[in-house]
Structure 1
Amino acid sequence: MNTSIPDLVTVRARNPEAVAEAAARRARRPLLGDSGRLMIVAADHPARGALGVGDRRLAMANRADLLERLCIALSRPGVDGVLGTADILEDLLLLGVLDDKVVMGSMNRGGLAGAAFEMDDRFTGHRAQDMARLRFDAGKLLLRIDYGDPGSLTTLESTARAIDDMAAHQLPVFVEPFISRRIDGTVRNDLSAEAVIRSIAVASGLGGTSAYTWLKLPVTEDPNDMAEVLETSTLPAVLLGGEVGDDQEGTYERWRKALRLPTVHGMVVGRSLLYPTEGSVETAVDTAVGLL
């Protein structure tokens, strides 16, 4: 029996076994369906303390509101699944909305937004064994590399071991690599073609096997560079949607152009769909699905 959002706290307090029971009966699907494309909605931001959307600093802080938006997004045609941390995915399991969806666990959330230790991005989320136990379908990790920050070496090593663990369970892992640096105390990702090429080259070689490794990549500053960028690796890739900003049509056109490239199998998009600057969640999701 599915739980309602107001009843989640009661179920968690009185029957924590309900999470495992919901995971055990969830109907699963292949990672890639007949279309060969993936549209994944991302909602793993809160565990990094990143709650803001545009000028709304705590937009993602209301969990009931976030869950309602996720349920709407997951109900739309063409949405294949969701990326989240344990708390969010288990809420969605209890709500019964993950049948026949790709469920992707978020693995490293230790690099809290704005923290002095942000680049030492420890694996504080899902482990491979957790995702295997819960019958999830894939994992995702963030790999930010700052050549001037020793914490990046810890992240590199732990990322390699996480890739090994996922492969041992025959679970796909989506690696999101960036070359990053601190500017006025804030971590910024370099989206130039050369930086993205270097990040792909490093990420592709991590671990004892790349058989289960996917890449989750940003669109470069100049979208015309994406064809060259994607020549760096034979690993399958999805696009990181990122913020839409003021130029919504321009952003959609950049996504559309990159999605035509043969290595790209879809998109993982989060706040810009769940909290659109204009229109409803339904409209934002349907527009993004249309790009595929």
Structure 2
Amino acid sequence: MPADRLREITRARLHRPAAFAEAAASRERPDSLVGPSGRALIVAADHTARGTLRSGARPLAMADRADLLDRLCTALARPEVNGVLASADIIEDLLFLGALEGKAVFGSMNRGGLSGARWEVDDRFTGYTPEAISRFRLEGGKMLLRLDYADSSTARTMESCAAAVNALGDAGKVAMVEPFIAYRADDLVRNDLSTEAVTRAAAIASGLGHSSMHTWLKLPVVADMERVAAATTLPVVLLGGDAAADPEAAYAAWAKALELPNVVGLTVGRSLLYPADDDVETAVDTAVGLL
């Protein structure tokens, strides 16, 4: 990412902020929400807005915005990568750089449940609103839903997600819901990645709102994904998660899950953007091969 391009972004924010709205208004929107393969390959980059900067053994990997943008632009330059999921600041940077032409863009909505915070499950909507997603011509919005049966604030988050599903659906926008059964251990919120828990989370998320016509689920790959996928008829995109210690095993698990009829693609962030060997192009090409 050349330093002069970064300076242009900052100067535009300082002197001509309307340039970002203009870029959103003129962006070429995709003809389809899936790529040439008929599957979705969406790069996720909304971690930083929730204070998650770690990737693998690097605690501040995502803190360098120039490096992150460079990795995102490298991934998005591959024609098979058909979309991005990010917070507004990153989407605006990518719009200004012209990296989102013809791509499906999903805005991240609830980032208030900061990683490690005592109120983490009370995940307030501090990012995109349904109205803003329509105004800036995005294809949809994504929301995180942690369901902690021992934390009463779960009910408020669940209600907020249902309202967002309603508003996005009424506007004809995709509501991408990422549900987990959660619990607190060692004073940290953990996600239960057992097959039973992920299946239950998928079933609950499928029933949010007064219509599921425009709802997608973003689910982790766990053991016995057949049972998980069987819990819903909604389109499912697979969550990549952090950079895997054994990438080959992770790719094999993705490939197996992609054979299921309602699994329509991948939504992968750090696994593609920060692979162990730092070769973003090869990591993206491997994911493309799975599709």
Short-chain TM bin: over 0.9
Q: In the alignment, what sits opposite 1:67?
A: 69
Gaps of 5+ in 1: none
Q: In the alignment, what sits opposite 2:86?
A: 84
Aligned mate of 2:190, from 180, 188, 199 = 188
Q: In the alignment, what sits opposite 2:16?
A: 15
Counterpart of 2:12 in structure 1: which amino acid? Answer: V
Shift of 1:76: 1.4
CA distance in 1 between counterparts of 2:12 and 2:179 reads 37
Aligned mate of 2:151, from 149, 152, 155 = 149
Q: In the alignment, what sits opposite 1:131?
A: 133
Shift of 1:32: 2.6
Shift of 1:197: 1.1
**Is the CA contact 1:11–1:18 (under 8 Å) kept in the aligned structure 2?**
yes
After TM superposition, the runs of 4+ consecutive aligned structure 1 residues lying more than 3 A away are none
Counterpart of 1:131 in structure 2: which amino acid? Answer: I
Aligned to 2:37, the other structure's residue is in SS state coil
CA distance in 2 between counterparts of 1:259 and 1:243 reads 19
CA distance in 2 between counterparts of 1:136 and 1:279 reads 30
Aligned mate of 1:56, from 42, 58, 65 = 58
Structure 1 residues 4-13 or 205-214, which shifts more? 4-13
CA distance in 2 between counterparts of 1:45 and 1:138 reads 17
- The normalised TM-score by structure 1 is 0.96
Counterpart of 1:264 in structure 2: which amino acid? Answer: V
CA distance in 2 between counterparts of 1:243 and 1:21 reads 34
Q: In the alignment, what sits opposite 1:286?
A: 285
Gaps of 5+ in 2: none
Q: In the alignment, what sits opposite 2:225?
A: 226
- CA deviation profile, 1:111-132 (whole Å, cap 9, x unmatched): 0000000000011110111011
Q: In the alignment, what sits opposite 2:27?
A: 26
Aligned to 1:71, the other structure's residue is in SS state helix
- CA deviation profile, 1:147-172 (whole Å, cap 9, x unmatched): 00111111100000000110111101
CA distance in 1 between counterparts of 2:92 and 2:62 reads 17
**Is the CA contact 1:5–1:95 (under 8 Å) kept in the aligned structure 2?**
no
Q: In the alignment, what sits opposite 2:238?
A: 239
CA distance in 2 between counterparts of 1:32 and 1:68 reads 23
Q: In the alignment, what sits opposite 1:96?
A: 98
CA distance in 2 between counterparts of 1:43 and 1:185 reads 26
CA distance in 2 between counterparts of 1:287 and 1:77 reads 14
Shift of 1:243: 2.3
Aligned to 1:216, the other structure's residue is in SS state strand
Counterpart of 1:75 in structure 2: which amino acid? Answer: A
CA distance in 1 between counterparts of 2:278 and 2:12 reads 34
CA distance in 2 between counterparts of 1:226 and 1:87 reads 34
Shift of 1:281: 0.8
Counterpart of 2:137 in structure 1: which amino acid? Answer: R
Q: In the alignment, what sits opposite 2:170?
A: 168
Counterpart of 1:172 in structure 2: which amino acid? Answer: V
**Is the CA contact 2:243–2:272 (under 8 Å) kept in the aligned structure 1?**
no
Aligned to 1:139, the other structure's residue is in SS state strand
Q: What's the Cα RMSD here? A: 1.1
CA distance in 1 between counterparts of 2:226 and 2:117 reads 35
CA distance in 2 between counterparts of 1:8 and 1:48 reads 22
Q: In the alignment, what sits opposite 1:214?
A: 216
Change (3 A) 1:256 1:36: same
CA distance in 2 between counterparts of 1:89 and 1:113 reads 21
**Is the CA contact 1:244–1:251 (under 8 Å) kept in the aligned structure 2?**
no
Shift of 1:278: 1.6
Within 5 Å, which residues of 2 pair with 1:32-51? 32-33=34-35, 35-51=37-53
Aligned mate of 2:206, from 201, 204, 207 = 204
Q: In the alignment, what sits opposite 1:264?
A: 263
Shift of 1:77: 3.0
**Is the CA contact 2:241–2:271 (under 8 Å) kept in the aligned structure 1?**
yes
